Amino acid sequence: MTILELHHIAMAYGAQDVLIDVSFKINKGEKVGLIGDNGCGKTTILKLIAGIETPVSGTVSKVKGISTGYLEQHLKFQAGRRVEEEIASVFEAVNQMQHKMRKLEAQMANGASDQINAVMEQYGRLQEAFERADGYACQAKIDAVIDGLGIDAWRDQSVDVLSGGEKNLVGLAKILLGEPDLLLLDEPGNHLDFEGLAWLETFLQNLDRTVILVSHDRYMLDRVVNRIVEVEDGKASTYIGNYSAYRAEKMRQLLLQKAAYDNQQKEIQRLEEMIKRFELWGGEKNIRRARNKGKMLDRIDRIHLPVMDRQRIDPAFGAIQGSGKIALELRKYGRKAGKRTLFRDVDLLVQSGERVGLVGGNGTGKSMLFKDIVAEAAWEHPTMRIGPRIQLGYYAQEHEILNDDRTILEEICLSGELSRDQGGGVLSRFLFSWRDLDKKVGNLSGGEKSRVQLACLMVSGANMLLLDEPTNHLDIASREQVEDALEDFDGTLIVISHDRYFLDKIAERVIEVRDLNLESHVGNFSDFWAKWRSDKTPDGEIDSEVEKQIEVLEDEKLRLERGMASAFEKRDFKRGDRLSRRLRLVEQQIENLYEAL
């Protein structure tokens, strides 16, 4: 049953067209992933569905009476409320019923006999309504969502003191508890740690509601959605299946369209040459033949040349050679933030050339560790040593290492001692035009600052990269470009990231912040996470989860094998080698998962 339809939607902001001709339908119970490049109009579509904005043309049709839940970016809560009170306000009507029931219970206990029957009758009606609303389960639902999203520590905090990210999680809790018929989620995984992401995925999988999910989290899109709607060039295309199925199907369609286009071009060329020949020969008969061929040419339904390679950021990280054996060594490292201890007596060794993912709960000190390394680490340092030939490159999550008063061009030229032309050339690889070069860094968006930081790292020549959430603010296509560039980087890499797909492609060792220490796990994120879940999950649930992971990896293996064959056939050896390395990693993951079963 179709519960939502967008029909030829167009949307513009000023002179800027965002959506040109968007049409798609959503059926009851579907879990739909809405994807596309940054700025393509995904959030605009959610606002149109929610009724917050009105299209320039076209219609948004919803089934009458359907309830819609949309998590807005700028949330307003009742001042002075505790977090748990704000979340429980979702059940305001149920809470009012319960309050009336308590008052009636008091009347029944103390009331006169001539009033008892009327009070009991009213109480009975209220109790029936309370049970229909599942009132007795409300607190259990609240507790489950608060625990699942990892916000239990905030229960008694005032909503007035919450950060923007914390408010988003409280808003997400309210939306999930409201269980609207249609749930509109815009990057719901932001600000969640891995445990919170896993809980949210399971919650959405089991939710008997229709969900439209905007996310750059490829694992979430693989595990939650059963259909993908891609917004591209102002239009929408629909693909059955999860994100991995979408990628395979889109590539298949592009290849088929390219083959059809090439064949059609040959036919058009053949007809045009025949027309020229007939016209050259002259005579009434040949002119008639030329006219007939011209009509055939006019009747051809032209196939558009598909865009196989869209303009993307193009990073390349080249390390200075000769970094020695030791990249980083911590010896009895300790750290406090105010009165709170983050690390105590930590020992760690990272060899040159290692690729490490640093993970842990929010607020456990991961970013603080990076900042300490950048500020203090040296070969002679007693607790925090880096190799004598190590040159550090640092990507800061909040972009604080950029100077807001400099222009983009000044920032890149100072990072790599480049001329104006050289700096402009590098920035063009990160989608900045020559008109952008004199923009102040302080006036840039989060995504633009991310691209500037990546460009600065690219020209720095660093042989050890500390990357703190480098894929934040990047769309999926840009994330994949960064992944490919880092796979080719032959220096040392330590990455903090909540992007599980990214960690799986990049990390060969995972270091977890746990109990004020750093605990090392050999393998990529999936290996680490399988072990982590096995310690907390019943065996039957583990088997089901492992089988799903194997299925996803088998699909990826097939895509990699096809891509590798195509790359080597085209003599693109760099891409072929990169896919080959990824294939070996995926095969090892599959083997490890089968062993886990």
Per-residue pLDDT, 273: 93
Q: How far is CA 245 from the centre of its chain?
A: 17
Residue 538 pLDDT more than 60? Answer: no
Going by pLDDT thresholds of 50, 70 and 90, the confidence category of residue 74 is: low
Please tell me which residue, 479 or 567, carries the higher pLDDT value: 479
* Predicted confidence (pLDDT) at residue 546 exceeds the cutoff of 80: no
Nearest partner of 255 among 570, 584, 490, 581, judged by Cα: 570
Q: Are 472 and 446 in contact (CB under 8 A)?
A: yes
Residue 596 predicted with pLDDT over 70: no
Task: State which amino acid sits at residue 514.
Answer: R
Helices (H), 42-193: 42-50, 83-88, 92-110, 113-132, 138-148, 164-178
Mean pLDDT of 14-19: 88
Least confident piece of the model among 37-46, 170-179, 289-298, 582-591: 582-591
Q: Which two tokens stand for residue 278?
A: 């007939």
CA distance 516 to 5: 51
Residue type, 45: I
* Tens digit of each residue's pLDDT (9 = 90 or more) over 337-359: 888 899 999 999 999 999 999 99
Confidence of residue 269 (pLDDT cuts 50, 70, 90): very high
Banded pLDDT at 395 (limits 50, 70, 90): very high
Sequence-ordered list of residues with C-beta below 8 angstroms from that of 323, at least 6 positions apart, any chain: 352, 353, 387, 389, 390, 391, 463, 464, 491, 492
Mean pLDDT in residue range 567-579 = 73
Q: Which tops the pLDDT comparison, 511 or 592? A: 511
Q: For the chain, what is the mean pLDDT?
A: 88
Query: Other CB atoms closer than 10 Å to residue 109's CB: what's the count?
Result: 7
Number of Cβ within a 10 Å radius of residue 194: 19
Structure tokens at 236: 């929408």
The pLDDT score that the predictor gives to residue 321 is: 64
Residue 20's pLDDT is what?
Answer: 94
Cβ(108)–Cβ(122) below 8 Å: no
pLDDT at residue 545, rounded to an integer: 67
Q: pLDDT tens for residues 31-58?
A: 999 999 988 999 999 999 999 999 999 9
Q: Is the pLDDT of residue 409 over 90?
A: yes
pLDDT recorded at residue 163: 73
pLDDT at 543: 63
Q: How confident is the model at residue 594 (pLDDT cuts 50, 70, 90)?
A: low
pLDDT(103) > 90 = no
* Mean per-residue pLDDT, 2-28: 93
Say which residue, 266 or 537, is predicted with more confidence.
Answer: 266
Give the three-class secondary structure for 146.
Answer: helix
User: What pLDDT score does 588 carry?
Assistant: 75
pLDDT confidence of residue 277: 92
In this prediction, residue 539 has a pLDDT band, given cuts at 50, 70 and 90, of: low
**% of the chain beyond a pLDDT of 90:** 53
Going by pLDDT thresholds of 50, 70 and 90, the confidence category of residue 114 is low
243-256 pLDDT, tens digit per residue, is 988 988 888 888 88
pLDDT attached to residue 544: 66
Percent of residues, the chain, with pLDDT higher than 70:
95
Among candidate residues 56, 81, 54, 52, the one with its CA nearest the CA of residue 69? 52
Average pLDDT (189-197) is 84
Q: Give the number of residues written for the chain.
A: 597
Q: Tell me the average pLDDT across 321-327.
A: 76
β-strand pairing of 235-240 with 227-232: antiparallel
- Look at residue 219 and tell me whether its pLDDT is greater than 70: yes
